[in-house]
């Protein structure tokens, strides 16, 4: 069973989470399984608009600027939730946060926490790692660059070891995840069965036990995330549907509405109405170093 080659990673997006903040800072890291880091202060005027959508991955979220922080790992929701309804996050107006979002299937967590236990839920990071000093240092800091540095120093100590010590089932799940992401959610289960030499039933069982969802659910999330990305490009809905592997535009719209509760056109109108582009601040490495600008205050 060999990799089909390097594929373009699926950058997991939570565009409607941006609406919880006046400014939402994002730094794309794109290494060691980490998609990006982000930081924001929750804004009471915006909280009722913020939603969480299925993204197929894991986040670690630190409450910052406090002596008694909440810190937890949370997995992908399988449907769209209002931020105020998704209990694992427990975000309140005025809270400041620093977050780490991994690529799908590429989180090698502290304490080797299984991803399946996090889908539609969360665990307190205090309960699964012994390194309380790192939690304390990140939570007390209000500087984005410093938070990233502290996290990486702790995470990379065990990253290679955790990667190399993966179980056979985890390696199989990683392969399936890579193939699904690389195909933009279109690869068939019978193709994966032929490639791996395992029965479709066995692949389904391993994938669900490792990831907390079926391969079909993950394929749907992958297609949805690709549509979110492609909608921001200058393309027609027909082009977006074809690129995402849908039979036609109507099938894409139906699946999109089932997940998000609104059509792609309405979704884009909502983003424009809420000044999404003004809220989202995507940082370069050079701008990240301007710590006087990118400090999230409590």
Q: What is the mean pLDDT of the chain?
A: 86
Q: What is the pLDDT of residue 142?
A: 86
Q: What is the pLDDT of residue 274?
A: 78
Indicate the pTM of the whole model. Answer: 0.89
Architecture of domain 168-261: Orthogonal Bundle (1.10)
CA–chain centroid gap for 278, Å, is 21
How far apart CA 173 and CA 72 sit, in angstroms, is: 24
Q: Which residue has the tokens 């998000």?
A: 260
Q: Which residues pair with 64 in a beta bridge?
A: 96
Which residues are CB-contacts of 64 (< 8 A; sequence separation ≥ 6)? 39, 96, 97, 98, 138, 139, 140, 141, 142, 147, 296, 298
Q: What is the pLDDT of residue 298?
A: 45
Tell me what percent of the residues of the chain surpass a pLDDT of 70: 90
Nearest residue to 62 via CA among 96, 27, 110, 25: 96
| Both tokens assigned to 93 | 């107006």
Q: Is the torsion defined by CA of 298, 59, 102, 76 positive or negative?
A: negative
Complete DSSP assignment for 128-187? T-S-HHHHHHHHH--BHHHHHHHHHHHHHHHHHHHHHT--HHHHHHHHHHHHHHHTTT--
Query: Tens digits of per-residue pLDDT, 187-197?
Result: 999 999 999 99
Q: What is the pLDDT of residue 4?
A: 55
Query: Tens digits of per-residue pLDDT, 14-52?
Result: 998 888 888 899 999 999 999 999 999 888 766 767 889
Query: Tens digits of per-residue pLDDT, 281-293?
Result: 999 888 877 655 4
Rg of the chain in Å (alpha carbons): 19
Q: What is the pLDDT of residue 293?
A: 45
pLDDT band at 111 (very low <50, low <70, confident <90, very high): low
CB 139 within 8 A of CB 150: no
Residue 130 pLDDT > 70: yes
Complete DSSP assignment for the chain? --------------TTTGGGEEEEEEEEEEETTEEEEEEEEE-TTTGGG-EE---SS-EEEEEES-SS--EEEE---SS-EEGGG-TTT---TT-EEEEEEEPTT----GGG--GGGTTT-EEEGGGT-S-HHHHHHHHH--BHHHHHHHHHHHHHHHHHHHHHT--HHHHHHHHHHHHHHHTTT---HHHHHHHHSS-HHHHHHHHHHHHSS-HHHHHHHHHHHHHHHHTTSS--HHHHHHHTT-SSHHHHHHHHHHHHSS-HHHHHHHHHHTTHHHHEEEEPHHHHT-TTTSB---
All structural domains of the chain with their residue ranges = 18-165+275-288, 168-261
Q: What is the pLDDT of residue 286?
A: 81
CB 12 within 8 A of CB 56: yes
Tell me what percent of the residues of the chain surpass a pLDDT of 90: 49
| Both tokens assigned to 224 | 């949805």
More confident residue, 250 or 165: 250
């Amino acid at each position: 069973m060999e990799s089909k080659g390097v594929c373009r990673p699926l950058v997991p997006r939570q565009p409607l989470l941006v609406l919880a903040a006046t400014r939402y800072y994002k730094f794309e890291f794109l290494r060691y399984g980490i998609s990006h880091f982000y930081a924001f202060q929750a804004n009471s005027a915006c909280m009722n608009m913020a939603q969480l959508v299925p993204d197929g991955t894991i986040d670690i979220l630190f409450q910052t600027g406090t002596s008694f922080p909440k810190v937890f790992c949370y997995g992908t929701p399988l449907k769209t939730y209002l931020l105020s309804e998704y209990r694992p996050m427990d975000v309140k107006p005025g809270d400041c946060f620093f977050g780490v979002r991994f690529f799908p299937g590429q989180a090698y967590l502290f304490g080797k926490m299984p991803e399946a236990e996090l889908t539609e839920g969360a665990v307190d990071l205090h309960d699964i790692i012994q390194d309380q000093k790192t939690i304390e240092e990140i939570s007390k800091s209000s500087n984005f660059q410093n938070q990233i540095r502290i996290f990486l120093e702790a995470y990379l100590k065990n990253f290679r070891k955790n990667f190399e010590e993966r179980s056979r089932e985890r390696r199989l799940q990683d392969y399936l995840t890579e193939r699904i992401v690389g195909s933009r959610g279109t690869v068939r289960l019978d193709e994966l069965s032929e490639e791996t030499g395992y029965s479709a039933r066995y692949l389904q069982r391993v994938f669900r036990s490792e990831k907390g969802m079926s391969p079909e659910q993950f394929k749907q999330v992958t297609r949805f995330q690709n549509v979110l990305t492609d909608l921001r490009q200058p393309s027609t809905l027909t082009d977006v549907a074809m690129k995402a592997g849908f039979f036609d535009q109507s099938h894409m719209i139906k699946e999109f509405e089932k997940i998000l509760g609104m059509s792609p056109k309405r979704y884009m109108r909502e983003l424009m109405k809420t000044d999404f582009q003004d809220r989202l601040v995507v940082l370069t490495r050079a701008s990240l170093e301007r710590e006087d600008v990118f400090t999230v205050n409590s």
